[in-house]
Amino acid sequence: MRVFKFGGASVKDADGIKNVYDVLQKVGHEDVLVVISAMGKTTNAFEVVIKNYFDKSAELQASIQEVRKYHNQILMDLFDDENHAVFAAVTKIFTDLESFLKNNKSPNYNFVYDQVVSLGEVISTCIVSHYFNHVGLKNQWLDVRELIKTDNTYRDAVVDWEATQKNISKNVKKKTLNITQGFLGSDDNNFTTTLGREGSDYTAAIFAYCLNAESVTIWKDVPGVLNADPRYFENAILLNQISYREAIELAFYGATVIHPKTLQPLQKKEIPLFVKSFVNPLLPGTRVSKGADLEPQTSCFIVKKNQLLISLSSLDFSFIMEENISEIFMLLHKFKIKVTLIQNTAISFSVCVDDKFGNFAELKSVLSKKFHVTYNDNVSLYTIRHFTEKSGDAVAKNKVVLVRQVSRETLQIVTKEA
């Protein structure tokens, strides 16, 4: 079995869904499991709904209707008959959403987030599955929440691999086209959980691992894995093949083409990963597989914007020792702040971090009791794998360099715009 993943950009409108159908016609769809994300910017739109819900805003209903209107337009573009069963199915999802918001008693933002945002994937796969059946491409729709079981760490759930393996082995049909949702799972109480933002790639890897799949293909709007993000770097080139190790390194440092957690289960069973273009599906794209000889022969550039550079020093000029660093990392973990670079001296300790949950103010308040805290917000972290002096100088040009750190293969620079 092959596992395919299509992201939100590939199903953002009716033409996109028709293109996914065309892709499957060209590359084959028998014995395939397709993981699909929410359509377009639906996740962002649902985040607005959640904000309005917690703010008790008068705009709540309007924000829900905005999401509904967007999907209704796609339905109208795909189906001639408004009596088609898909219209009632999508209506029920929105009815269930309103019922949940009306009856929910939990003040836990992360819990509510997962119950609401997850509906984007449910709606998208509902529409795609119905459309494929409508045009003669028979498929089985699977509710991933009944298959992937997790703990109850809402918004960043940990997979229960044993239970998940049993569920997937039992419910995924061979020799057919299976369609399911990315990003989602459920806990022991059957409440929806999510696997972390952009977690649909990870979902594909989970299925591939449990099914001993032939391969995983992530379909993107780029020709494959590039050595740099073309939004920020000129003359980006395609990497035809890279090793799992190199892909994991790139993902760890922030490359957005492949989700960081995706590669680990694939590497365990040596399942190759392909990154291909849904615009030109017959092009080879990038292959990620086992092999120490698959290192890129060029520098690879990664940039993470909107980072925080936090610098801590002891209040009494004493050394920053192991026990201090251990405490700092415990707090970073507690407040779910991801560290992207570390640098320390005798009496200071600096970290570049990604505060995706907006918890820095709370962390700063706690740290200030023991340390002198300074920080720079909105900094950029540039990472260059297989760097040269020339590539490092080019990245630093016309920028204020706050931190520069070099290892054997990697150069990292924290900058502010000059």
Domain at 113, CATH number:
3.40.1160.10
Q: Helix count (H) and strand count (E) of the chain?
A: 13, 16
pLDDT score for 251: 83
For residues 200 and 330, membership in a common domain is answered with no
Q: Does position 259 have pLDDT exceeding 90, yes or no?
A: no
Q: What average pLDDT does the segment 321-341 reach? A: 92
Domain count, the chain: 2
For residue 174, being part of any structural domain is answered with yes
Say whether pLDDT at 71 is over 80. yes
Place of tokens 């298959």: 147
| Between 109 and 418, residue with greater pLDDT | 109
Q: Note the pLDDT of residue 295.
A: 67
Assign 278 a pLDDT band (cuts: 50, 70, 90). very high
Compute CA distances 405 → 39, 329, 401, 409, 414, whole Å: 39, 20, 11, 11, 9
Same domain, 199 and 314: no
Last residue of one domain, picked from the residues 155, 183, 213? 213
Q: Which amino acid is at 334?
A: K
pLDDT 10s digits, 196-232: 867 899 999 999 999 999 999 999 998 999 999 888 9
DSSP state of 390: H
68 is in an annotated binding site: no
What per-residue confidence (pLDDT) applies to 95? 98
Domain with 410, as residue range(s), is 300-417
The structure tokens listed for 189 are: 């109480």
Has residue 111 got a pLDDT over 80?
yes
Residue 279 lies in a domain: no
The annotation status of 231 as a binding-site residue, yes or no, is yes
**pLDDT of 294 over the 90 cut:** no
We report the CATH number of the domain holding residue 352 as: 3.30.2130.10
Residue 324's pLDDT band (boundaries 50, 70, 90)? confident
**Domain ends where: 213, 234, 262?**
213
Q: Which single residue is written with the structure tokens 């894995």? A: 225
193 shares its domain with 332: no
Task: Give pLDDT, residue 323.
Answer: 86
Q: Does residue 199 share a domain with residue 54?
A: yes
Q: Are 240 and 287 in contact (CB under 8 A)?
A: yes
Among 129, 139, 13, 113, smallest CA distance to 53 is for: 113
Is residue 144 situated within a structural domain? yes
| pLDDT band at 348; cut points 50, 70, 90 | confident
218 found inside a domain? no
Binned at pLDDT 50, 70 and 90, residue 296 comes out as: confident
Selected residue with higher pLDDT from 319 and 194: 194
pTM of the model: 0.86
Q: Does the residue 257 lie in any domain? A: no
Domain end call among 213, 229, 264: 213
Q: Is residue 227 part of a domain?
A: no
**Confidence (pLDDT) at 122:** 98
Q: How confident is the model at residue 292 (pLDDT cuts 50, 70, 90)?
A: low
Q: Is 163 exposed, middle or buried (0-12, 13-18, 19+ CB in 10 A)?
A: middle
> Is 258 a member of any domain?
no
Q: Which residues contact 358 (CB under 8 A, 6 or more apart)?
A: none
Do residue 202 and residue 324 come from a single domain?
A: no
Q: What is the pLDDT of residues 361-376, one digit of tens each?
A: 999 999 999 999 999 9
Above 90 in pLDDT, residue 330?
yes
Mean residue pLDDT across the chain: 94
Assess whether 65 and 193 both reside in one domain: yes
What is the predicted pLDDT for the residue at 344?
86
Convert the pLDDT of each residue in 373-395 to its tens digit: 999 999 999 999 999 999 999 99
200 and 306 housed in the same domain: no
Task: In whole angstroms, give the CA distance from residue 41 to residue 120.
Answer: 9
Same domain, 195 and 329: no
Mean pLDDT along residues 237-242: 92
pLDDT of residue 258: 81
Q: CA separation (Å) from 98 to 42, 127, 400? A: 17, 20, 49
Please check whether residue 266 lies inside any domain of the structure.
Answer: no
pLDDT in tens, 399-413: 999 999 999 899 999
Q: β-strand 410-417 against 399-406: which pairing, if any?
A: antiparallel
